[in-house]
Chains A and B, each alone.
Chain A
Amino acid sequence: MSAIANTRAWLDEHFRLNEVIAFLRHKTVPQHRYTPFYFLGGMTLFLFGIQVLTGILLLLYYRPTPNDAFESVQYIMTRVRFGWLVRSIHSWSANLMILTAFAHMFSVFFMRAYRKPRELTWLSGMGLLVIVLCFGFSGYLLPWNTLSFFATKVGTDLPAQVPVVGKWILVFLRGGEDVTGATLTRFFGFHVALLPGLATLLIGLHLLLIQRFGMSVPPGVDAEWRANPAKVREMPFFPNFLLRELMAWYIALGILGALAALKPWELGTKADPFASAPAGIRPEWYFMFMFQTLKMIPAKVGIVNGELLGAVGIGVAALVWTLLPFFDHSERGRGQRLIAGVGVFALAYIISMTVYGYLAK
């Protein structure tokens, strides 16, 4: 017997490997015109894996104090061999992960994959999206540069507008009244310990739920298949779907490498808490629509404080979006059209405000 066959026999004897493989072969993925969208979740997971690996490498040199943070990232970028590559891949894959997470969310929304019994899968996915955004926000501060310093000031001041608990949230996030070294230490803790722990738990739950309920088939396709069962197409998860997914990951790795090599992530200038915010300051693209919204709300709207309206408005919109699947009872008809309309509006709003944010002075 060859070494591979021996290993396989040993694994089967100890862990019943053949049963696992048989289970994977039994699992199928629906095959229809929207199948490519099924790859988005796996792609987000792959990019998360890249984040974990490059993040561990960055930890070997990074120092989370206001005196050392900027210099340690500078050291990684200029002195450590391939440090620039590791840091650039970490930053680029973070951005691509947020992009694929948003794309995954909207594809699930428009394919109505959140319908009963998959509401919990949707909720766990929304929780993961929030965690991914928190990863982006906390990681952004770690190089301790000017842009990240002011982005953190604005971002942590926003929840402070919420009545009663706002001040408590601000102090909890900043580790004090102002953005200081205490904030950096806290964000570092969130970024490398708290958020990865929460993400691991939620990813486990999300995958478990997907495993439990299988892949959702969009209602339109489902109706066609019910009318004509001969049209039903499925492919085995293992190896057919998994190999396709691996190919997509391989391409993503190539894109990541190319982006990191051709457009290394910039470091900017070291944060100075006693300097003015520079002209043209703006947040990362995924927060741009919120930034532009806040910029456009005047100081007072009627008798309501503009800041409060912005903070509460964003919170309520996010909550309604998260709970929307629980209102989707109809198979077709007015309710369904309304929900689809809300989805189109949300997507159009995010895109147009992002573009406007980059074009506006």
Chain B
Amino acid sequence: MEVFLGAGVFASLVSFLYPVLRYLIPPPTAELESDLALAGKVGDLKPGTGKIFRFGSRPALLVLSPDGQYHALSAVCTHLGCTVQYRNDLHDVWCACHNGLYDLNGRNISGPPPRPLETYEVIVKGDEIYARRAHNG
């Protein structure tokens, strides 16, 4: 009798709590993840500067290095998710939150970041600059 009563109470608790727990987690959003994003226009950047652009729902960074090369990388720091920036005095990509440093190829070179930044292929079409996600394999 006690077992039935206990199981009944337990089952009703689960039936109350389960919908609440499920309610707390939002439904997955259909991410319109594209492999290609418009990063800017030729002439937007002077050599030795960078700008943030949208890559899908996340920020990305376009850099025109002092030697005239374009670099496109994810701007989400791999440490705790802050948005990074290009620093011409260091010639590197820097995260202001915890002093993480990456080179222009996205490699984490100092500070707490545990992984490199994702890098994108840069395509210049006319006066528009695009960043494309590289597919491995």
Residues of A participating in the B interface, judged by any CB pair closer than 8 Å: 150, 153-154, 157-158, 168, 171-172, 175-176, 178, 182, 273-281, 291, 294-295, 297-300, 305-307, 361
Closest 6 CB pairs of A and B: A276-B85, A157-B80, A277-B96, A157-B81, A277-B82, A299-B114
A182 to B28, CA, bound (A): 13
A176 to B28, CA, bound (A): 8
Residues of B within 8 Å of A299, CB to CB, are 79, 108, 111-114
A279 to B96, CA, bound (A): 5
Q: Is there contact, CB below 8 Å, between A171 and B26?
A: yes
Contact with A along B93-129 (1 / 0, CB 8 A): 0011111000000001001111000000000000000
Q: A275-B83, A277-B85 are in contact. Are A295 and B99 (CB under 8 A)?
A: yes
Interchain residue pairs with CB less than 8 A apart (8): A154-B80, A154-B97, A176-B26, A182-B26, A274-B53, A276-B96, A278-B96, A361-B99
A305 to B112, CA, bound (A): 10
Q: A172-B25, A294-B80 are in contact. Are A150 and B54 (CB under 8 A)?
A: no
Q: Is there contact, CB below 8 Å, between B112 and A307?
A: yes
Q: Is there contact, CB below 8 Å, between A171 and B112?
A: no
Question: Does B84 count as interface, using CB distance less than 8 angstroms?
Answer: yes
Q: Which DSSP category, helix, strand, loop or mixed, fits chain B's interface?
A: loop
**Shortest beta-carbon distance, A307 to chain B, in Å?**
6
Q: A274-B52, A295-B99 are in contact. Are A153 and B80 (CB under 8 A)?
A: yes
Q: A158-B80, A176-B26, A305-B114 are in contact. Are A275 and B97 (CB under 8 A)?
A: no
Contact with A along B38-68 (1 / 0, CB 8 A): 0000000000000011100111010000000
Question: Does B72 count as interface, using CB distance less than 8 angstroms?
Answer: no
Q: Is there contact, CB below 8 Å, between A307 and B114?
A: yes
**Shortest beta-carbon distance, A80 to chain B, in Å?**
32
Q: Is there contact, CB below 8 Å, between B98 and A295?
A: yes
Chain A's closest residue to B108 (CB) is: A299
A2 to B96, CA, bound (A): 68
A18 to B95, CA, bound (A): 64
A172 to B22, CA, bound (A): 10
Chain A's closest residue to B82 (CB) is: A277
**Shortest beta-carbon distance, A187 to chain B, in Å?**
14
Residues of A within 8 Å of B73, CB to CB, are none
Between B52, B57, B98, the greatest number of chain A beta carbons within 10 A of the residue's beta carbon is seen for B98
Q: A275-B52, A298-B112 are in contact. Are A154 and B26 (CB under 8 A)?
A: no
Q: Is there contact, CB below 8 Å, between B25 and A150?
A: no
Chain A's closest residue to B100 (CB) is: A299
Residues of B within 8 Å of A306, CB to CB, are 112, 114
**Shortest beta-carbon distance, B19 to chain A, in Å?**
15
**Shortest beta-carbon distance, B47 to chain A, in Å?**
19
Q: A294-B98, A299-B113, A306-B112 are in contact. Are A277 and B57 (CB under 8 A)?
A: no
Q: Is there contact, CB below 8 Å, between A154 and B96?
A: no
A137 to B43, CA, bound (A): 41
**Shortest beta-carbon distance, A359 to chain B, in Å?**
14
